[in-house]
Every structure is written in C-alpha cells, then in structure tokens.
C-alpha cells in the first residue's frame, strides 16, 4: 500500500492544520520524527482490532476516555495514574453489569492537537482588544495568551512525541505492574459508594460486584490474570506532519501502521470523503474511528466505510456518533438502519460530550451531566429498538476533582465552575461524575 506524500495530502486542502512560518524548521522536525522509535507496535494495534471486532459483533463494550486535550505540563505520575484509575473503576462496573469484556482505550498518550471553530481568539486585555491565533493544543501552540506562545511551533511535535512516550511507559507499568489489580480497583469503587451521599445510590450494584468478587475468591480465582489489564492508547489524527512521520511499514506484514497510537480517529471537522485525513487513514492498518455529527447522512457514513474499510474487516472501523441529547433519537436510527442494511461491519460508539457543549453565563464552556446521560440513554434506546448493539462510550473525563461540567450528584452549578476549571479546551467529567456515569450506564448495559 503506497502512502501519499505530505505534499499530496496537503494538496487535498487539508483542514484544521497549523500554519508554520519556518518550513526548514518544520522539515527538520519531520525528519527527526521519522527516525524516532515507534510508540506502539503493529501487533498491539492488531490485538486491539480483534477486540473491537468483538465490539462490532456485540460481544464486548468499548470504554474510551480521557482529557479533551492533554498538556505537556500534565505528564506527571499523579495525573496519568488518576486518569487510569478512574477508567479502570468505570470498566469494572461496566464489565459486571454488561457481562461482556470491556475494551479499555485511553484518550491519552497523543491527544495533543485540537480542531477549532475559529482560527483566532479575541480577548479584552489592559491594552484593549487583542486578537491572537486560537489555541490548537500543545502539539501546535501554547495556551498562554501571548503572541510568542500562540505561534505555531513545529518543535512541539517532538515534545508531544516525548510526552506520549513517557505517558505510555507509565501506563504500561501501571497496567501490568499490580496497580490495576481487580481487587484493588473494586475496593476503590466500594470506597466511592460508601464514602459519599451521591455514591450510595449505587450501593446495590456495588454489593453485587462484591459478592461476585467473594465468589471468585472462594473458588480460587486469584490468578495472575486479575493483576493486569490490557489498555490501549488513542487520539485524534489531526496534524498531518506528525501522523505521517509516525507512519511506518510493519516488518511482519509490510503493511503501514501509524505507530503514534493504537487507535486513531478522524474528527467531525476533518471527515470529508476526499479530504487529507480520510486519505491518510485509509492507507494505514490500525483500527480507526470517525466522529459523526448530526449532519451526517447515511450515504456519508456508507461512503466513509467504503473508503476506510473497503475489505469490510470487523474491528477496523468504529463510528463515534456525537449528535447531542436533543438530536440523537431522531438522527441516529436512519444512520444505523442503512449502514446495517448495507452489511457494513462497524462498531457503534456514543460520544455524549461534543453535541452538548454550551457557554455558561459565567463565560465557561460547560456541559450538563444530565444531557450527557440523556444522550447515552438515547443511544441505548435507539439500538434496543433496532436490535443492534450499543458498542461503547467515548467520554472526555479526568480522574481529578475539577469543576468543568455542571450537575451530577455533587450538583455543581455555574457558580462552581470557576473554583477548579483546568481544561485548556472542552469541559470534562470529573472523578465523581465519571464514576456516577459508569453506574448509570451499567444499568443501561444490563438491559441492552
């Protein structure tokens, strides 16, 4: 399979790309990236593809989550550990309730580039109104609102490579070195349930899991198996220079893989059928995703599947729908019905975040916990009505006690947002909201 050159990709009118002012510096960075070791191995991508094939068949459930935008400053043991911890806690609840394996996929170790609605941001400062390039993720520029920081700097691509390597190294250690032990994760969940008023609502399910754990212990399942988990990385494949430089030929199969992450997805803003992102991702062999917003027609989805997965390989393609709580029940059925009738092998996953963002009166971008849950409920209801499998959820979340989304058991309000709003882009569910979501989705999964 021939990979198009960067020039050929850019000639397709690539959207949402950085505008670098020093082509020589960019070329030097790309050359350097091409010589760096892979962050993931092709065989690992294949393993994930098999797991996602099980999702597409209705035999497994995908939990994909992490920051909206990772930051270079956020690469600390505590930060990565907290995110992994909350994802593992969620996965245990979902596994028990769904009685199916839960595929664990982090939006991490590479989620550093953001598509934006506007190229520029204007703020009122002491000097009057100032307009600068929008923040596009640490892969591109800095969040600080100064001309130096907002300049698109290619050196950042190397920084992101190194940060992703450090994050993956830590995750591999946590996932296999005992931190992810099922018994430990369950204890965290029981602490959550007993330690707070809002957690107590989920006591019944937690007790059932407790009994299952005791049963496993009683019959002697204390095996090594319980001490480790499979965990994979994912990010939006947005900056072409980075993804292209990280695309390598697998020595086993001679096929190209993007070794910057196990799973990469195409965003809602860059999914044009004849666009650069679809072209590049059609050539690699990783499992991939495409975000589908409310304007997606069934013909669009079918055409994307035809181009991105011409062999109709199960596990290769995941459609991540992000319609919004108000639109999912009307928009999703037609898409699923026609894609399914076309015999296409896809996993259906719900992103209940990106269709539910609004600006609070305080000026913060936020999401209502209830809208997020309502979109997931709509997703499950539509699948149940059609007899298809609600394959998973894709969530922006953090393991920290931030205040970015309103609602949930803690009843966070607009007035609370300022106290700990740390996201550099979109609002994430905090630790408690994420765990509550897991218990609520678990009930939906039970009935699926």
Ligand X SMILES: C=C(OP(=O)(O)O)C(=O)O
Write out the residues near ligand E4P by the rule CB under 6 A: 68, 114-117, 354, 425-426
* Contact (CB, 8 A) for 404 and 55: no
70 binds, among ligand X, ligand E4P, none (CB under 5 to 8 A by kind): none
Angle separating helix axes 203-218 and 182-195, nearest 10 degrees: 150
Burial class of residue 104 in the structure, from the number of CB atoms within 10 Å of its CB (0-12 exposed, 13-18 middle, 19+ buried): buried
DSSP three-state, residue 231: coil
Of 58 and 115, nearer to ligand X (C-beta) is: 115
Residue 271's nearest CA partner among 233, 218, 319 is 319
For the bound state, the minimum distance from the C-beta of residue 53 to ligand E4P, rounded and expressed in Å, comes to 28
Report strand pairing: 61-66 vs 392-396. Answer: parallel
Cα separation of 371 and 354, whole Å?
11
* Contact (CB, 8 A) for 255 and 282: no
322 binds, among ligand E4P, ligand X, none (CB under 5 to 8 A by kind): ligand X
205 binds, among ligand E4P, ligand X, none (CB under 5 to 8 A by kind): none
Of 49 and 394, nearer to ligand E4P (C-beta) is: 394
291 binds, among ligand X, ligand E4P, none (CB under 5 to 8 A by kind): ligand X
* Contact (CB, 8 A) for 242 and 139: yes
For the bound state, the minimum distance from the C-beta of residue 237 to ligand E4P, rounded and expressed in Å, comes to 14
> Can residue 285 be called a binding residue for ligand X (CB under 6 A)?
no
15 binds, among ligand E4P, ligand X, none (CB under 5 to 8 A by kind): none
Of 114 and 186, nearer to ligand E4P (C-beta) is: 114
Read off the DSSP letter of residue 18: -
For the bound state, the minimum distance from the C-beta of residue 48 to ligand X, rounded and expressed in Å, comes to 18
> Can residue 154 be called a binding residue for ligand X (CB under 6 A)?
no
Q: What is the gyration radius of the CA atoms in the chain, in angstroms?
A: 21
DSSP assignment of 281-307 equals HHH--S-EEEEE-TT--HHHHHHHHHH
**Token pair 């300049």 is at which residue?**
151
Cα separation of 104 and 63, whole Å?
5
Per CB under 6 A, which of residues 286..325 are in contact with ligand X? 291, 322
For the bound state, the minimum distance from the C-beta of residue 221 to ligand X, rounded and expressed in Å, comes to 37
For the bound state, the minimum distance from the C-beta of residue 136 to ligand E4P, rounded and expressed in Å, comes to 8
User: For 136-151, b where at least 16 C-beta lie within 10 A, e where not — what string?
Assistant: bbbbbbbeeeeeeebb
Q: Measure CA of the first residue to CA of the last residue in the chain; give whole Å.
A: 39
For the bound state, the minimum distance from the C-beta of residue 13 to ligand X, rounded and expressed in Å, comes to 18
Of 320 and 441, nearer to ligand X (C-beta) is: 320
236 binds, among ligand E4P, ligand X, none (CB under 5 to 8 A by kind): ligand X
Helix (H) or strand (E) holding 393: strand 392-396
Of 69 and 305, nearer to ligand X (C-beta) is: 69
* Contact (CB, 8 A) for 442 and 97: yes
382 binds, among ligand X, ligand E4P, none (CB under 5 to 8 A by kind): none
Sequence-separated (6 or more) residues with CB below 8 Å from residue 406: 360, 366, 367, 368, 369, 412, 413, 414, 416, 417
Of 49 and 107, nearer to ligand E4P (C-beta) is: 107
201 binds, among ligand E4P, ligand X, none (CB under 5 to 8 A by kind): none
Size of the site for ligand X (CB under 6 A): 9
Of 316 and 354, nearer to ligand E4P (C-beta) is: 354
Cα separation of 29 and 105, whole Å?
28
> Can residue 277 be called a binding residue for ligand X (CB under 6 A)?
no
Per CB under 6 A, which of residues 327..366 are in contact with ligand X? 354
* Contact (CB, 8 A) for 69 and 111: yes
Per CB under 6 A, which of residues 80..139 are in contact with ligand X? 115
Of 182 and 264, nearer to ligand X (C-beta) is: 264
Of 140 and 170, nearer to ligand E4P (C-beta) is: 140
% helix / strand / coil in the chain, to the nearest 5? 45, 15, 40
Of 46 and 396, nearer to ligand E4P (C-beta) is: 396
Per CB under 6 A, which of residues 29..68 are in contact with ligand X? 68
136 binds, among ligand X, ligand E4P, none (CB under 5 to 8 A by kind): none
367 binds, among ligand X, ligand E4P, none (CB under 5 to 8 A by kind): none
Judged by CB under 6 A, which of 46, 67, 70, 236 binds ligand X?
236
The binding site for ligand X (CB under 6 A) comprises 68, 115, 236, 267-269, 291, 322, 354
């Amino acid at each position: 399979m021939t990979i198009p050159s960067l020039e050929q990709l850019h000639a397709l009118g690539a959207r949402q790309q950085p505008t670098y002012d020093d082509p020589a510096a960019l070329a030097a960075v790309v050359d350097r990236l091409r010589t760096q070791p892979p962050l993931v191995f092709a065989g690992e991508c294949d393993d994930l593809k098999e797991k996602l094939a099980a999702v597409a068949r209705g035999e497994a459930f995908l939990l994909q989550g992490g920051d909206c935008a990772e930051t270079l400053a956020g690469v600390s043991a505590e930060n990565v550990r907290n995110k992994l911890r909350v994802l593992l806690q969620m996965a245990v609840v979902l596994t028990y309730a769904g009685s199916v394996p839960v595929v664990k996929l982090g939006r991490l170790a590479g989620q550093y580039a953001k598509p934006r609605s506007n190229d520029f941001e204007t703020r009122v400062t002491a000097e009057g109104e100032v307009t600068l390039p929008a923040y596009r993720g640490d892969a591109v520029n800095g969040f600080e609102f100064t001309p130096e920081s907002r300049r698109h700097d290619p050196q950042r691509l190397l920084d992101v490579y190194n940060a992703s390597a450090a994050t993956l190294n830590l995750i591999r250690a946590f996932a296999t070195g005992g931190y992810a032990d099922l018994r430990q994760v369950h204890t965290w969940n029981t602490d959550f349930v007993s330690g707070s008023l809002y957690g107590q609502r989920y006591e019944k399910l937690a007790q059932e899991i407790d009994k299952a754990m005791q049963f496993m212990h009683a019959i002697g399942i204390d095996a090594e198996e319980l001490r480790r988990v499979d965990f994979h990385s994912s990010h939006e494949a947005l900056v072409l220079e980075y993804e292209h430089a990280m695309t390598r030929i697998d020595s086993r199969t001679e096929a190209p893989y993007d070794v910057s992450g196990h799973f990469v997805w195409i965003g809602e803003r860059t999914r044009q059928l004849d666009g650069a992102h679809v072209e590049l991702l059609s050539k690699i062999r990783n499992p991939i995703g495409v975000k589908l917003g409310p304007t997606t027609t069934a013909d669009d989805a079918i055409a994307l599947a035809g181009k991105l997965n011409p062999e109709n390989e199960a596990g290769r393609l995941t459609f991540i729908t992000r319609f919004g709580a108000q639109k999912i029940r009307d928009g999703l059925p037609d898409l699923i019905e026609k894609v399914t009738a076309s015999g296409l092998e896809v996993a259906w996953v719900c992103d209940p975040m990106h269709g539910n963002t609004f600006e609070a009166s305080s000026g913060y971008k936020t999401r209502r916990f209830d809208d997020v849950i309502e979109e997931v409920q709509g997703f499950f209801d539509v699948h149940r009505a059609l007899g298809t499998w609600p394959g998973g959820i894709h969530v922006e979340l953090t393991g920290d006690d931030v205040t970015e989304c309103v609602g949930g058991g803690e009843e966070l309000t607009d007035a609370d947002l300022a106290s700990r709003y740390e996201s550099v882009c979109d609002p994430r569910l905090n630790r408690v909201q994420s765990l509550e979501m897991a218990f609520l989705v678990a009930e939906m999964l039970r009935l699926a």
